[in-house]
């Protein structure tokens, strides 16, 4: 394989640039011509490619976002989208593609492989919602961002003896909430995988107050199905305690990637080049039990994950 391209797609995640650096430099080291595609699948359809050299990816390892820009492309998923993209790549002599993104981007990668084009997929999303891999690139940084926010919120919550709801991202996954809640000592974590009755929330807050707790921190995942503003009003009316909400939103997507995300991104990028060089046709790369691995893209896309209820039980015990 002599000429390859890569793109970043969907919501950006810290570590995408580290993955870009690895793909470009490892690809060039293997004698490949490497092309970056601007704005994800949109750029693939528009033929918005740029040849990339070693020096183009200098000084980006520590940066959040993606130097290639990203987009959520409706056009690509429309009938004929994949065929058009393959035609565009054909005119440029591109023989393989590396896709960096989340679940929507993975579906896009599947349509290309189905149509016979080789694609290596790198799991880049803060949500940690790709079941085939233990961790996605960007998740660790997002958890650390939430953790930093919790520490600051805890100071002001105890000073005012308030309840604070911290709403975090994650789409249909509660992993950001769960891991940040565990590491940040939250009293209650509400996620799509486990949303307790509202009465449980009030009673837990009241029990804490009765034991002399100065504050309660509640982490509410955006996909929990419980609206933070309604929860805030309900807690106030049932406990008499002043309650505030902090929505962390896009703060969680930005920032310099953690060491863990940079390392994961680097290994995954290097693995993608190795697989393309070996003539693999469609793989998803990830990390299982601490090791970088690759599996069939379609099998990876079909994986589902059972929530680990023991983590919720542990939070319950620790926050009594
Ligand atoms: O998938 C990453 C993510 O940040 C989700 O956690 C969130 O629900 C969504 O993207 C927000 O998407 P957008 O950038 O389109 O607002």
Tell which residue, 64, 99, 72, has the closest CA to residue 272.
99
**Per-residue pLDDT at 66:** 98
Q: How confident is the model at residue 61 (pLDDT cuts 50, 70, 90)?
A: very high
Segment 236-263 shows an average pLDDT of: 97
The answer on pLDDT for 320 being more than 90 is no
> HSE on the CB side for 118, CA within 13 Å?
16
Task: Mark whether 272 and 240 lie in a shared domain.
Answer: no
The answer on pLDDT for 196 being more than 90 is no
CA-proximal residue: ligand 1, atom 12 (nearest): 11
CATH of the domain at 198: 3.40.50.460
Q: How confident is the model at residue 195 (pLDDT cuts 50, 70, 90)?
A: confident
The tally of domains found in the chain comes to 2
**Per-residue pLDDT at 34:** 98
Task: Mark whether 195 and 68 lie in a shared domain.
Answer: no
Task: Mark whether 79 and 92 lie in a shared domain.
Answer: yes
User: If you ran DSSP here, which 8-state letter would residue 5 be given?
Assistant: E
In a domain, 309, yes or no: no
Task: Mark whether 124 and 172 lie in a shared domain.
Answer: no
Which residues, listed in sequence order, are joined to residue 296 by a DSSP beta bridge? 283
Cβ–ligand 1 distance for 170 under 6 Å, the answer yes
In a domain, 317, yes or no: no
CA-proximal residue: ligand 1, atom 1 (nearest): 11
Joined together, the tokens standing for residue 214 give 């100065």
Q: CA angle at residue 56 from 53 to 57, to 5 degrees?
A: 105
In a domain, 239, yes or no: yes
In a domain, 247, yes or no: yes
- Residue 45 Cα, ligand 1 centroid: separation in angstroms? 23
Share of the chain above pLDDT 90, in %: 94
Residue where a domain terminates, one of 194, 229, 254: 254
Residue where a domain terminates, one of 195, 227, 254: 254
Segment 227-247 shows an average pLDDT of: 96
The answer on pLDDT for 310 being more than 90 is yes
Task: Mark whether 193 and 51 lie in a shared domain.
Answer: no
Give residue for tokens 């359809």: 45
* Residues acting as catalytic residues: 127
Cβ contacts of residue 164 below 8 Å, gap of 6+? 153, 156, 157, 215, 216, 217, 218, 243, 244, 245, 246
CA-proximal residue: ligand 1, atom 8 (nearest): 171
Domain region containing 104: 3-138+257-302
In Å, how far from its chain's centre is CA 284? 15
Task: Mark whether 67 and 156 lie in a shared domain.
Answer: no
Cβ–ligand 1 distance for 123 under 6 Å, the answer no
Cβ–ligand 1 distance for 175 under 6 Å, the answer no
**201 near 188, Cβ under 8 Å?**
yes
Task: Mark whether 147 and 280 lie in a shared domain.
Answer: no
* 108-159 residue pLDDT tens: 999 999 999 999 999 999 999 999 999 999 999 999 999 999 999 999 999 9
Helix 259-277 and helix 139-160: axis angle, to 10°? 160
CB atoms within 10 A of CB 35: 21
Cβ–ligand 1 distance for 169 under 6 Å, the answer yes
In a domain, 312, yes or no: no
Segment 185-201 shows an average pLDDT of: 92
Q: How confident is the model at residue 53 (pLDDT cuts 50, 70, 90)?
A: very high
In a domain, 308, yes or no: no
**Per-residue pLDDT at 319:** 87
Task: Mark whether 171 and 245 lie in a shared domain.
Answer: yes
The answer on pLDDT for 301 being more than 90 is yes
Q: Which atom of ligand 1 is nearest to the CA of 102?
A: 1
Cβ–ligand 1 distance for 251 under 6 Å, the answer no
- Residue 253 Cα, ligand 1 centroid: separation in angstroms? 8
* 18-32 residue pLDDT tens: 999 999 999 999 999
In a domain, 45, yes or no: yes
CATH of the domain at 120: 3.40.50.450
Share of the chain above pLDDT 70, in %: 100
Task: Mark whether 298 and 226 lie in a shared domain.
Answer: no
- Residue 133 Cα, ligand 1 centroid: separation in angstroms? 19
Task: Mark whether 74 and 198 lie in a shared domain.
Answer: no
In a domain, 63, yes or no: yes
* 201-227 residue pLDDT tens: 999 999 998 898 888 999 999 999 999
Task: Mark whether 17 and 127 lie in a shared domain.
Answer: yes
Cβ contacts of residue 291 below 8 Å, gap of 6+? none
Which of 9, 127, 251 has the most ligand 1 atoms within 8 A of CB, as the residue to mutate?
A: 127
Task: Mark whether 193 and 148 lie in a shared domain.
Answer: yes
The answer on pLDDT for 160 being more than 90 is yes
CB atoms within 10 A of CB 95: 18
């Amino acid at each position: 394989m002599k000429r390859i391209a890569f793109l970043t797609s969907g919501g950006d995640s810290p570590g995408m640039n580290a993955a870009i650096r690895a793909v470009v430099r490892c690809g060039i080291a293997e004698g490949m011509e490497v092309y970056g595609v601007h704005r994800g699948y949109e750029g693939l359809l528009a033929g918005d490619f740029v040849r990339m050299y070693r020096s183009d990816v200098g000084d980006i390892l520590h940066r959040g976002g993606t130097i290639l820009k990203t987009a959520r492309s409706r056009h690509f998923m429309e009938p004929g989208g994949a065929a058009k993209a393959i035609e565009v790549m054909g005119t440029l002599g591109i023989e393989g593609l590396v896709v960096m993104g989340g679940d929507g981007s993975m579906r896009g990668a599947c349509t290309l492989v189905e149509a016979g084009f080789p694609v290596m997929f790198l799991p880049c999303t803060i949500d940690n919602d790709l079941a085939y891999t233990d961790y996605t690139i960007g998740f660790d940084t997002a958890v650390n961002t939430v953790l930093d926010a919790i520490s600051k919120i805890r100071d002001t919550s105890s000073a005012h003896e308030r309840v604070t709801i911290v709403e975090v991202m994650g789409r249909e996954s509660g992993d950001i909430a769960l891991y940040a809640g565990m590491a940040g000592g939250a009293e209650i974590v509400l996620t799509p995988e486990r949303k307790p009755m509202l009465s449980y929330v009030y009673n837990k807050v009241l029990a804490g107050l009765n034991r002399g707790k100065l504050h309660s921190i509640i982490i509410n995942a955006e996909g929990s199905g419980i609206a933070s503003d309604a929860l805030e009003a309900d807690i106030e009316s049932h406990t008499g305690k002043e309650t505030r909400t902090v929505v962390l939103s896009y703060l969680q997507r930005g920032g310099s990637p953690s060491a863990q995300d940079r390392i994961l991104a680097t290994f995954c990028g290097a693995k993608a080049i190795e697989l393309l060089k070996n003539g693999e046709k469609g793989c998803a790369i990830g990390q299982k039990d601490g090791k970088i691995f690759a599996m069939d893209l379609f099998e990876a896309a079909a994986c589902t994950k059972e929530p680990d209820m023991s983590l919720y039980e542990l939070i319950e015990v620790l926050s009594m």
